[in-house]
Structure 1
Amino acid sequence: MLSLLAETKYHKHVKAFLENNTDYRYIEELGVGSYGVAYLIEHSGSHKKYVLKRMKAKHRSKEKLRQKFNLEIQLLKEIGLLNTPSVISQGEIENIPFYIMDFIEGQTFEQAIFRDGNTFSLDQSLSITKQLLEYVVILHNKGIVHRDLRIPNILFKDDQLYIIDFGLASYIDKNIQSEVIDNPKRAQNHISDLYFIGHFLLFLLYSTYTPTIKKERSWQQELQLPEPVVHYIERLLLLGEPFSSAEEALSLMPLEYASSTR
């Protein structure tokens, strides 16, 4: 309850800060994560929309989390690609760090699948995953791993993919050995992003699946995919030999089952 009251209090601080110190106006709260809160705001002159993200109030005295929040800002600045939001400005509101970034007015794959009921065929799913991998290769070449490539964090607009929420991103640790990774989701190397991409691809493929029996089966049994596709996904999910890099995963995609465009 105290935590909720603290966050409600800081909502008011954010609104007051925008009104009294900036050319932006508050529109609405976009979402709350483990470490931060995001708001949709609008520039009063251009009427262009942006996102203000702040650290949660309850974390303001935790130096490690403050460092992590500042790392997120630093990484976004270093990435500098059209597929990710650009940082516009940063600062503090009542001792809470925040930054303002571009608002990408796209649709997440979570919304597309679960809210709007969109479906993705095998060839579409592979083509979309190829585009995602192409971006991830660029990201890894910049020495950065996202570590949270879930369907709420991947958007599409005009057939172009965008990646948001770099709150768990980190620099790549080249000294990590794949065989000793306990939790692939949190690995600070390519394994993490490829593991998430494997699950992302499965979400796309399951969008066309309708159960025919009540008994739950493995995805290999339920989806009835071509053997090369099954083998490829198993490697992404560490059920087979792991890929040595995102470049290798991209080069070995079974694209004979994918069209060149969505």
Structure 2
Amino acid sequence: MQFLKLFKRVLRGFTDHQYGENETIYDKYKVKAVLGMGSYGMTYLCENVEEKQLCVVKQMTKSKKKTLIRKQYQTETEILEQLSHPNIPRFYERFTFENNNLFSMEYIEGENLEDLIFSKKKRFNEKESLVLIRDLLHIVSYIHTKGIIHGDLRIPNVMIRNGEPCIIDFGLSEPCSVKNKDSLPMEDFFDLGDLLLFLLYSSYNSTIKKGRPWTEELSIHERTSQLLKNLLGVDESYTYTSDVLHDVNQAIESISN
């Protein structure tokens, strides 16, 4: 297994050229930094030298199956083109450069939620956690009305800009077909439940070393507990974003009173 992983990394090194700082892509995007490297591509913080503004450029990998990457590239760019929301990166353009498929989009300047929790030790109390989930749900609701599922609503894909959450990385997004239009939204709801748990546990302290289920560890309002059970599929799963929003608002109101 370790050998296979090493082989894949070596293969990727040969097939996927990573652009370095100050290199220029497509004669207009000057690389400022490498933001990340995932299974399907690499992302760069760039300066558009023509527009004099920062942006993000994503380069699709070539070390995976060509047909898979082509489909991934087409799906991700088409989905971003359809979306127009202040808390979602704007799509700029798709292009080919040095036999690489790339596209550019808005740079969301802010703090990554994963870094806030794990590096900066940001703590969210129950109400703050629910309010953040509520704000995310408004964005998710917009995405769902477009017939799209994000598919990767994890803390690394949430940015906090001026106190508001933004959702990034639509690499695993997909359109809802008639066949899967009911089941796919539940994936986003499950992710939001998992994200809510991360937020609630950020302020959890215990001297008990033996792991216990969250239902025993967390001291939260019964409405919050039921919300989590529905999001995570422990009890009846949600079908519509409006129902989730209703229950989140009910939980916030119960805590506030």
Normalised to the residue count of structure 1, the TM-score between the two structures is 0.87
Matches within 5 A, 1:36-185: 36-44=41-49, 46-59=51-64, 62-176=66-180
1:127-147 deviation digits (Å, cap 9, x = unpaired): 111111111111101111101
Aligned CA RMSD, in angstroms, stands at 2.1
Once residues 81 and 65 of structure 1 are traced to their aligned partners in structure 2, the CA distance between those partners, rounded to angstroms, is 26
1:149-204 deviation digits (Å, cap 9, x = unpaired): 000001111111110000000011343386xxxxxxxx5x2101100000111111
Aligned-pair CA distance for 1:43: 2.3
SS in 2 for 1:176: coil
Once residues 221 and 111 of structure 1 are traced to their aligned partners in structure 2, the CA distance between those partners, rounded to angstroms, is 27
Does the 8 Å CA contact 2:23/2:31 hold for their aligned counterparts?
no
Residue 34 of structure 1 aligns with an amino acid whose one-letter code is S
1:210-255 deviation digits (Å, cap 9, x = unpaired): 1221111011111121222111101000000011211111112222
Aligned-pair CA distance for 1:109: 1.0
SS in 1 for 2:205: coil
Once residues 88 and 181 of structure 2 are traced to their aligned partners in structure 1, the CA distance between those partners, rounded to angstroms, is 29
Residue 63 of structure 1 aligns with an amino acid whose one-letter code is T
Structure 1 residues without counterparts, runs of 5 or longer: 179-186
Does the 8 Å CA contact 1:122/1:257 hold for their aligned counterparts?
no
1:54-100 deviation digits (Å, cap 9, x = unpaired): 101213x5113211111101100101111111111211123221001
Aligned-pair CA distance for 1:24: 2.7
Does the 8 Å CA contact 2:41/2:61 hold for their aligned counterparts?
yes
Once residues 241 and 124 of structure 1 are traced to their aligned partners in structure 2, the CA distance between those partners, rounded to angstroms, is 25
- May I ask how many residue pairs the two structures share in their alignment? 246
Name the counterpart of 2:5.
none
From 222, 240, 243, the counterpart of 1:245:
240
Provide the identity percentage. 31
Name the counterpart of 1:217.
212
Once residues 219 and 171 of structure 2 are traced to their aligned partners in structure 1, the CA distance between those partners, rounded to angstroms, is 36
SS in 2 for 1:37: strand
Structure 2 residues without counterparts, runs of 5 or longer: 1-9
From 25, 31, 37, the counterpart of 2:36:
31
